[in-house]
Structure 1
């Protein structure tokens, strides 16, 4: 619901701020005062193309802002969340129009594109009046309104789910079909896998091969070092280290009774002797394992060479060859089963098409029933709104049904005949702005409760009517306001009297410049405004009495 509209330096409005509540809010004023500028401001906040001519003369830019309460507007909340622009249950649309022709837009204080502004505004407000503002001129909006009127949510979900499954299967078959004859690819993969499978490519196996290669490459140096170390430990050419340690322990034991700390030294020397024995045993075992074998070394070199060649060929590190092998094996398995999968897909696609057709047929029947009911109800209301002989039709246009369509098997076109004897024409081709507004009002009233957009704006919906018809228009707008927030720019007192709230737009010259001002009317001011609308510039007692009767007659 729209709660606040702020305008600055827009056309002849220097500054204005309007607060809105639920129900019907009417806006009146003298001809040329700028009543429709409020609708224009909402239009620009809904993404209309920037117009530098709307910037007030002498100002650098016009600033427009609208505040919405989203408590009962789940689609808008969901959209904001998806776009990461959400701010709880409140939403602000802001836009500037520069005198040089540029413009900027913000949603909840963050920069936004006009496309985003238009998409979000479409979930918040519908403007009925000028052709470029008309939400109901869009076929997609017409279809959404019919489905909302008929309560087709469950049927739409079934169609969308069936279409999604059908689309997924079609994409899979298309991807497989693009592969064409895969025999060459299969032969290539088999050859590649054969090369890889001949080697042990597990990372730990490659690491062990590298370590063995290094041992064999340095076998001579390792043997020499082990022999020299063992000779020193074993004492082949001189007293062994173990013998020297034992002698040291004997020498220290003779005097240990005079220094208690020598007991600790003896324990350390004993541990060192044990470790020296273990080290000598390990060196001996290592030496026994070492052997200079040129043939074995050459075989290792060949294996490492093959592994590095494979790594270069597949453009991966040697340690990644096992992963590459698994990937090629998976692709090969997929290609070997592609033919069978294509054959199976044909059957699955046909089944999915059948499920979609069943769901779409059920939706089509529901739409046909709702279309007849909406046509009858709207035609009746058109007559009440001063278009006697007029006729409204909801035409269902079948689609070919050869591709999955989440919206069903038809599109909708709203057709209107404004006068008896005239053939129905698409609503978007109705020339008269006044007729278009009244037809839109009739549709909205007939579909009351089925439209998810919370705020509807009617600009000069009462153009070209008067008397009893004007009173009916006002009553219909008030009824609409009971279900949705409605704003109406009007010049008829019969319509203005039906409002739950009333704003008056006036203009005056200040320093030779015409400016408009907007004022919310209290009960007394409202009576005076209705009297002015009834009697003109000179407000008579009779006009005031008539204005009072209008207000008293409002339910």
Structure 2
């Protein structure tokens, strides 16, 4: 509930700090005293429109702070947590408007956008009156209100789950159909490309291998010349191998006369001869290598150039040709398998759609039953509120399939007809200001247990009524106050007498300026205020007695 409201420099209000309580709180005062200013200030803290006209003359800025005491599971606190803001014992909304029209918003002293302030305000306070109305007057809320009234949360969850399952299958079917459509459009191209790539048969890493071999083959003459020269130096008539053999034979003739000193030399020559023999054998093998065959260069270059030409054609790297071939083959296989795949997905989508539709139709039936009960309950509240000629109707109509959603297949609307024989229409377009507030009051009385908005504000709900009707309005406001905090701006003594708390809005005039103040009335002061409302400027003893009677009758 709204626990405190602090206002500084808003129009005629210089400094005001209000502590508010649960139950029905009435605000009274002379016409022009500033009651509308008080509601404008509250609206500012709730994210309403703010401009420089709200700043008191001579001040640099206006500020309004609204402090709310809420249960831990209230949607406003969940929204605050979603935004990553600190959650404290109370929720404090603050709005500042400067004299040049700039605006700043805060939640628990943390700067936020005005949009967030407005979203929070919609969960905290509903205002019903002649000029500022929302909540139940918004047709988009009617379906959720009816569902809450009927206790259809479990059915709603089932419908939502069925809808999401259906949409998931539908998305898969549409994506598959789109992919198949794209594949069909390029089927001829795919078949031609796959045939070319099959014939080419590219391998990952092949370009690098071919480029290295081509480099060697392009230098074949120099390589062969160097190899032949090395072979001659190693194995020719004057080659190293011949010389080492001669040296070894010469040493072997005197090895036994050298006392073992020549053994290391002979061993070294043995090892050298073995290495030379390996080198000669390798050179002989390389001389017959195909990479050095001049006839192979042309064939190799044809292969390399063919791979690179295919890569340029498809605008990819040569090493990705093999992957492209696999992907194109997969898309061709998809075309061939498309009939079975689409048929299977279509069956699954139809089954999911029927499951959703069955759940949604059951929900529709329960909504129609609840609508009839709601109409009956609201209709009983209308005659005492001087709306006995009015008719309240809850319509549950089917939506086009394109508008179906997780909340079902229905459009729900609260309609009224204020005169017999006239067609029903939207409440805010049919009812006058006073009727509008009383319609909202009747609805709120019936829907007392529905919704999470803790504070209701009724602005001049008693416009154009008096006597027994005003008493009925007061009785219903008092009834609402048992479950919610209700603030009502009233000119009716019958309504004022019903309040659990009474605030009076009044002007204070000095030679320098006029200001608006709000005071909480004691029992004696309250008696005087209600007597004033009954008798006018001059309070009579008869008016005081009537006030006592009204106050006593609220129990």
TM-score (norm 1): 0.77
Taking a change above 3 Å as real, the CA distance of residues 213 and 361 of structure 1, as seen in their structure-2 partners, is same
Residue 309 of structure 2: aligned partner: 309
| 1:40-63 deviation per Cα after TM superposition (whole angstroms, max 9, x unaligned) | 334445555555544433445543
Corresponding position: 1:188 with 2:192 = no
Residue 155 of structure 2: aligned partner: 155
Structure 2 Cα separation of the partners of residues 553 and 491 of structure 1 = 18
More displaced stretch, 471-480 vs 98-107 = 98-107
SS in 1 for 2:7: strand
Q: Which runs of 5+ in 2 are unaligned?
A: 248-270
SS in 1 for 2:35: coil
Report if the CA contact (8 A) 2:105-2:114 is conserved.
yes
| 1:495-516 deviation per Cα after TM superposition (whole angstroms, max 9, x unaligned) | 3344444433222234543321
SS in 1 for 2:372: helix
Shift of 1:363: 1.3
Corresponding position: 1:37 with 2:37 = yes
Residue 484 of structure 1: aligned partner: 484
Structure 1 Cα separation of the partners of residues 105 and 30 of structure 2 = 32
Residue 146 of structure 2: aligned partner: 146
Shift of 1:353: 3.5
Mapping 1:124-273, distance limit 5 Å = 124-171=124-171, 176=177, 182-198=183-199, 203-204=204-205, 208-209=209-210, 211-213=212-214, 236=240
SS in 2 for 1:126: strand
Structure 1 Cα separation of the partners of residues 146 and 6 of structure 2 = 34
Taking a change above 3 Å as real, the CA distance of residues 388 and 205 of structure 1, as seen in their structure-2 partners, is same
Q: Which runs of 5+ in 1 are unaligned?
A: 244-273
Structure 2 Cα separation of the partners of residues 80 and 330 of structure 1 = 49
Taking a change above 3 Å as real, the CA distance of residues 488 and 281 of structure 1, as seen in their structure-2 partners, is farther
More displaced stretch, 176-185 vs 431-440 = 176-185
Report if the CA contact (8 A) 1:356-1:404 is conserved.
no
Report if the CA contact (8 A) 1:73-1:454 is conserved.
no
Report if the CA contact (8 A) 1:478-1:499 is conserved.
yes
Residue 18 of structure 2: aligned partner: 18
Residue 432 of structure 1: aligned partner: 432
SS in 2 for 1:465: coil
Taking a change above 3 Å as real, the CA distance of residues 496 and 333 of structure 1, as seen in their structure-2 partners, is farther
Shift of 1:461: 1.6
Report if the CA contact (8 A) 2:104-2:111 is conserved.
no
Residue 87 of structure 1: aligned partner: 86
Residue 507 of structure 1: aligned partner: 507
Shift of 1:318: 3.8
Residue 112 of structure 1: aligned partner: 113
Taking a change above 3 Å as real, the CA distance of residues 132 and 488 of structure 1, as seen in their structure-2 partners, is closer
Report if the CA contact (8 A) 1:441-1:477 is conserved.
yes
SS in 2 for 1:133: coil
Taking a change above 3 Å as real, the CA distance of residues 479 and 78 of structure 1, as seen in their structure-2 partners, is same
Shift of 1:445: 1.1
Residue 460 of structure 1: aligned partner: 460
Shift of 1:531: 4.7
Residue 373 of structure 1: aligned partner: 373
Structure 2 Cα separation of the partners of residues 365 and 510 of structure 1 = 65
More displaced stretch, 322-331 vs 459-468 = 322-331
More displaced stretch, 408-417 vs 375-384 = 408-417
Report if the CA contact (8 A) 2:180-2:338 is conserved.
no
Report if the CA contact (8 A) 1:186-1:336 is conserved.
no
Structure 1 Cα separation of the partners of residues 497 and 228 of structure 2 = 115
Mapping 1:517-532, distance limit 5 Å = 517-521=517-521, 526-532=526-532
More displaced stretch, 309-318 vs 170-179 = 170-179
CA RMSD across the alignment = 4.4
SS in 2 for 1:157: helix
TM-score (norm 2): 0.77
| 1:152-208 deviation per Cα after TM superposition (whole angstroms, max 9, x unaligned) | 222223333333444445555555369758544122123333444455656455555
Structure 1 or 2, whichever has the larger Rg, is: 2
Taking a change above 3 Å as real, the CA distance of residues 209 and 487 of structure 1, as seen in their structure-2 partners, is farther
| 1:329-376 deviation per Cα after TM superposition (whole angstroms, max 9, x unaligned) | 444444444444444454444434322332222111111111111111
Shift of 1:523: 5.4
Residue 386 of structure 1: aligned partner: 386
| 1:420-451 deviation per Cα after TM superposition (whole angstroms, max 9, x unaligned) | 67654431223421211111011011012122
SS in 1 for 2:473: helix
Corresponding position: 1:71 with 2:71 = yes
Report if the CA contact (8 A) 1:146-1:370 is conserved.
yes
| 1:444-485 deviation per Cα after TM superposition (whole angstroms, max 9, x unaligned) | 110121223333221112223334443432332233233233
Structure 2 Cα separation of the partners of residues 503 and 285 of structure 1 = 112
Report if the CA contact (8 A) 1:232-1:238 is conserved.
no
Structure 2 Cα separation of the partners of residues 155 and 281 of structure 1 = 88
